[in-house]
Structure 1
């Protein structure tokens, strides 16, 4: 027993529906092909237009005309100075006559001034004579020198002779003292000077007149034995 095919199995109604579907598909495909050109035209119309705005090129700058050639410098000579006619020298007028002045009267000479004769200068006073040295015989005392023997000199056995030079005034007072000879001990020398300083002399005289002068006074310092 043979198996029926698929065509035999379809009912007539189904066959008609399949034929209608096939015809509808062919019709749709044909209609689609007819609409391609219309779609392309619509798309072309709806597409935006792009315009490039490009500035036109600038016109070429006209070439500058060449500078004119330098004009030669023309030195204009200064106009000549006008000639001025020299004025004629004035004619010297004749000198006027002037009467000479009378000579001046002679002036009597002035009397000579008296000559003043300076009085003669007084003779220069003679220089005072240097102080004299009084001899030992002229020395007299009102209060003789009394030097004090220093205790330290006694303890140390210091002894010696001191000579003092003294200037005695007209009043008998010692005015200046000089150490002519030292004992070798400063304490004894100072004691001798102090003793003569405290002394008073009788003013020496010469021709009945008090005089001054230098005198030498020996002061011995001796230890008691």
Structure 2
């Protein structure tokens, strides 16, 4: 192209006309193609029908329950009730003329006699003072009843008065039950008192 010369106007117009025609054809192709696709995309109309509800067939009634022969209840005879009627008021009571024998006397149980008991240091050892009671400064007197046999030995022992401490009571009962006392002519009970004193 040479400077100083005007471009050809006809060529320019032909080029512009070609571009406009190309765009017009392009737009027409797009519009016509999209419209066809839009028609194809639309779903076919849906037909609806009202369907009547199907009822299940009527079930036959259940068979009647079998009849069972129920045996009659067993016969239970009513209990016999004997009512004692008082004797008539005009009845005569017969009393025997024989005297009633006197009641037999009940033999009295003879209690063993009581004797006085003395502790003899040669034949009796003093009860042992529990070490726990010594530590706790427990002290007191115990009164016992001892059953002494004909050999002078203790057959039974009972606590009459407590010292207030079960340990001391049991120690006195065990210790004095080992003693030997003067033998009585028959077994006899004797009362004895023993006092526990803490050692200084």
TM-score in terms of structure 1 length: 0.38
Report the structure number with the largest CA radius of gyration.
Answer: 1
